[in-house]
Amino acid sequence: MDVTVNSADEMIQFGARVGALLVGGEVIELIGDIGAGKTTFTKGVAKGLEIRDNVQSPTFTISRVYQARDGLELAHYDFYRLSDPGILKMELSETTHDPHMITMIEWGEVVEQVLPEGTIKIRFVSPGEFERLVTIEDNGQLTARLKEDAHDSTR
């Protein structure tokens, strides 16, 4: 599924749409260059999950966990500064198998071998200064929910 986003506000709105559809247990790898919109998208997902905290990039802290609606949690990882995840590999493995956790991973190449089968990949490409092309690659569950949600909202 491809979506074109034309501003940071639209990226947050799209992320909020995605976040509202998450049920727990999802593992999402965010792929894109610096400034492509990964953290902005995550802020939107947090909004859709009804997280009240100010979501920030975990580039320097590596990970942050936020309390969400319905007893869910959002774990946000950023492995940009790591060439070897070390002990974080074990933590990530536990997090990705928790049915109450939604796991968002930026710069996940270093932990690719730990990510479970069925990981949703969301790619961010910047064809212009403000425009972003967002591509969701999944097993069809999230994209089906997004399409159903879009169909329901047009009624």
The model's pTM:
0.90
Residue 155 has pLDDT above 60, yes or no: no
Write the pLDDT tens digit of every residue in 98-113. 999 999 999 888 888 8
Map out the domains of the chain as residue ranges.
2-148
Question: Of 114, 102, 109, nearest to 27 (Cα)?
Answer: 102
Would you place residue 154 in the very low, low, confident or very high pLDDT band (cuts 50, 70, 90)? low
Q: Which CATH superfamily is domain 2-148 in?
A: P-loop containing nucleotide triphosphate hydrolases (3.40.50.300)
CA–CA gap between residue 3 and residue 120 (Å, rounded): 15
3-state SS, residue 39: helix
pLDDT in tens, 29-53: 999 998 899 999 999 999 999 999 9
